[in-house]
Chain A
Amino acid sequence: MAWTNTILRINLTTGTIAKEPLNKEWAQDYLGQRGLATKYFTEEVSPTVDALSPENTMIFATGPLTGTMASTGARYSIICKSPLTGAMACSNSGGYFGAELKSAGYDMVIFEGASPSPVYLSISDDDVELIAADDLWGKTVWEADEMLHKKHQDPALKVAAIGRSAENGCLYAAVVNDLHRAAGRSGVGTVMASKNLKAVVVRGTKGVGNLFDAKRFMTSVADEKKVLAENAVTGEGLPALGTQVLMNVINEVGALPTRNMQEVKFEGASKIGGEAMLEPRESDGKPNLTTNAGCFGCTIACGRISTVDPTHFSVKDKPEYHKNSGGLEYEAAWAVGADTCVDDLDAATYVNFLCNEDGFDPISFGSTVAAAMELYEIGAIKPEETAMPLDFGSAEALVWCAEQVAQGTEFGKILGMGSKRMCEHYGHPDLSMTVKGQEFPAYDPRGIQGMGLAYATSNRGACHLRGYTVSSEVLGIPVKTDPLHTEGKADLVKAFQDATAAVDSAGLCIFTTFAWGMDNISPQVDAACEGNWSVEKLLEVGERIWNMERDYNIKAGITGEQDTLPKRLLKEAAKVGPAEGRVADLDKMLPEYYSVRGWTPDGVPTDETRSRLNLA
């Protein structure tokens, strides 16, 4: 019933492959994908394991709506302990890979242990095997993808792979599927490399069926697709401009972190935003954006397919980068653009290509480069360490840095530590713009107060995808709240966090929630899945997931003390814009948040809360 009821368990140490039935009782409590895989993970893996040891487990998980006709039913997540944060990692990706895995007949794949030598996992419906990958090791994601397609003689094969950055220990390495969709955050690619697992390739021909009430599901899916189509954000803004629709909007509200978050407004924002991607360039008359693209089943199609200007310095002599590939999303454009003060759209696009080609997170990368530029500015990074001055605004420096991380050179390994460890390495920990070791995304909490609380309390470190209150505070969805007010933000953050956990766990994309409330999602889940999936039930599942993740983190040593923000955001006021004079007023929101959550003043879920949510 929407679930395939089969999971694959791969022990990489022994090379054994086993199929086992899904725990249906857990599925009723945790739904699927993020929630259900985290349940398996927390039951099986000690919170104190070293993230890069064989004792860490890594789970590829689909949701009950993955691979169905529900709009955006493309998503899968990778769950493990993060080497970047030491906390739960759950990194979500689209493309076609997740639906293919579901169509092959699996709700999830659990990887235990570590292979003694490089391998990849091949899944072709019921046929599953580990295959030697010595020839693939040391290759980029794009090279590995091409080699695997050739080897399997199957153009429809779906590939998820790691690149050289992961192999070289970059702590924010991603797993990239379908060439440019990524489980990008928290270093899930680094964990995959530690297991000597280069790739997972899937061919699924079984399809997804056996829905609880297929007729009701089809009616509901058609109705809700209409809601997406008629909404201004999901029906117009996102298809036309992608997430890059936000660049100028966020800059205008004075919440675009700039210069390693020293400032909240970027002069060059309009040069790197969604509108700029549509402007024909001088050299060949083409715009940066070729077309928009949808993931499997997605009727929004926010994806960007772009080219770099072939005459641009970064690719001038590299025809292999003149083709189309995955273009800039807002978070990536911000990180490699505004935060480093680089207003060069082509440099940013090329760097984004490199992030996909060698599998590293553009958010963490860009933010780490911004920190490196500040370290360079104050003389902590010496000119002899770099091939050129690491000046803010230097597109050449940005491109050079990306090539270093991609190739895993000496300085590339320093950048590959991430902002926190790099700033500690140079003796300036305060210059790292991170929470729990993970770099910020593109919303300054001085200008959008709720996001400060969302960042500080996120279970995977600074992240916009755990509680996107920007929706309410800036876009007015579902209701407008004042981004500069702290009142009511505790409730708002909790509501977004719980709802997001449920949406993720269904296998849907969080972008649907610009148009959909839980009352649009519930009928689809309820028709597809056995059991009662009312709005209340989904929100309860979301809250349960949030508390489960929190519990694991606390046991891993990540407590309420780490629910904080860098000093810069708490002490240095915004200099311009609507938030001028404001800092992130976290202390005004955090105690209330703990109370709303049913946690102790130290941020620990109380026994009462645990028992209410049926958590052991």
Chain B
Amino acid sequence: MQKSLHLNADKCTGCLQCEMACSYEHEGIFNPVKSSIKVFAFHDEGRFVPYTCTQCDEAWCMTACPVDAITLDAATGAKVVNESTCVGCKVCTIACPFGTINYNSSTGKVTKCDLCGGDPQCVDACPTGAITYVEADATGFDRMKKWAKATDTAGAV
């Protein structure tokens, strides 16, 4: 069964442990700038919102790539950038509707979430459970459960 990253902004505190775990896994350094997962702070609203690649089935980045540097990891469903093939043309960064594939100026290649080969480090690093790795077919189940409880009339009497 394939899995997906599941992000819950309600639980995010803005600590950036996920960003550091990502950059450490991929570049061996603690550097939020190099992370493929990003936490955005909306100060006035008091919200911290993590965001990263959703691994589209029909991935526009993959389709747009002129040199076929982005390929499917069949085991995880991740769309993975092959660095030795990537020419840094950045067309994929234009194609992606969500902005989750980006150019890395220190390597001259693009970079995106690759699900760490099936063991996403951001999940382990997150202290609050705001980032989890769940069955891809069940990402809505926690919300469904919340609504199930809210709409369950039997218990309310």
Residues of A at the B interface (CB closer than 8 Å) are 67-69, 71, 96, 103, 156, 179, 205-209, 214, 218, 222, 225, 228-229, 239, 290-299, 301, 303, 305-307, 323-325
Q: Which residues of B contact A290 (CB under 8 A)?
A: 45-46
How long is the Cα–Cα vector from A291 to B32 in the complex, in angstroms?
23
- The answer to whether A298 and B15 touch across the interface, beta carbons within 8 angstroms, is yes
What's the least CB distance linking A63 to chain B, in Å? 14
Give Cα A107–Cα B25 distance, bound, in whole angstroms.
24
Beyond the given pairs A69-B21, A69-B30, A293-B48, 14 more chain A to chain B contacts, judged by CB atoms under 8 angstroms and listed by A's residue number, are: A69-B17, A71-B127, A206-B31, A207-B30, A208-B30, A208-B31, A228-B127, A293-B14, A294-B13, A294-B14, A294-B15, A295-B15, A299-B15, A307-B46
A324 touches B46 (CB 8 A): yes
How far is B127's CA from A325's CA once the two chains are assembled, in angstroms? 23
Tell me the complex Cα distance, A214–B28, Å.
Answer: 9
Q: In which size bucket is the chain B interface?
A: 20 to 34
Interface centre among B17, B27, B46, B47, by most chain A C-beta atoms within 10 angstroms, is B46
Query: What is the CA–CA distance of A205 and B104 in the complex, to the nearest angstrom?
Result: 11
A156: which B residues are within 8 A, CB to CB? 33
Q: Tell me the nearest residue of chain B to A235, going by C-beta.
A: B127
Q: How far is the CB of A140 from chain B (nearest CB, A)?
A: 15
Bound-state Cα–Cα, A225 to B125, Å: 9
State in angstroms the CA–CA spacing of A124 and B21 once bound together: 23
A207 and B13 contacting across the interface, CB-CB below 8 Å: no
CB-CB under 8 A from B47, the residues of chain A are: 291
Shortest CB distance A332–B (Å) = 18
- Nearest chain A residue, comparing its CB with the CB of B105: A205
A323 to B43, CA, bound (A): 8
Can you list 16 A-B pairs, Cβ within 8 angstroms, ordered by A? A69-B24, A69-B30, A69-B125, A96-B16, A103-B33, A205-B31, A207-B23, A207-B30, A209-B28, A293-B13, A294-B14, A294-B127, A297-B17, A299-B15, A301-B15, A324-B46
Question: Which partner residue on chain B sits nearest A290 by CB separation?
Answer: B46
Chain A residues with Cβ under 8 A from B33's Cβ?
A: 103, 156, 205, 207
Across the interface, name the chain A residue whose C-beta is closest to B128: A301
Q: Does chain A have a CB within 8 A of B112?
A: no
Q: Please, which residue of chain B has its CB at the minimum distance from the CB of A72?
A: B15
Given contacts A292-B13, A293-B14, contact A68 B127 (CB under 8 A): no
> Are A103 and B13 in touch, CB under 8 angstroms?
no
Is B29 at the interface (CB under 8 A from chain A)? yes
Q: Considering the chains assembled together, what is the distance between the CA atoms of A294 and B29 in angstroms?
A: 21
Q: Whole-angstrom distance from the CB of B96 to the nearest CB of chain A?
A: 20
Q: For window 1-58 of chain B, which residues contact chain A by CB distance below 8 Å?
A: 13-17, 20-21, 23-24, 27-34, 43-48
CA distance A165 to B56 in the complex (A): 52
Contacts of A222 in B (CB 8 A): 124
Chain B, residue nearest A207 (CB): B31
B23 neighbours in A (Cβ, 8 Å)? 207
Give the distance to chain A from B117, nearest Cβ to Cβ, in Å: 17
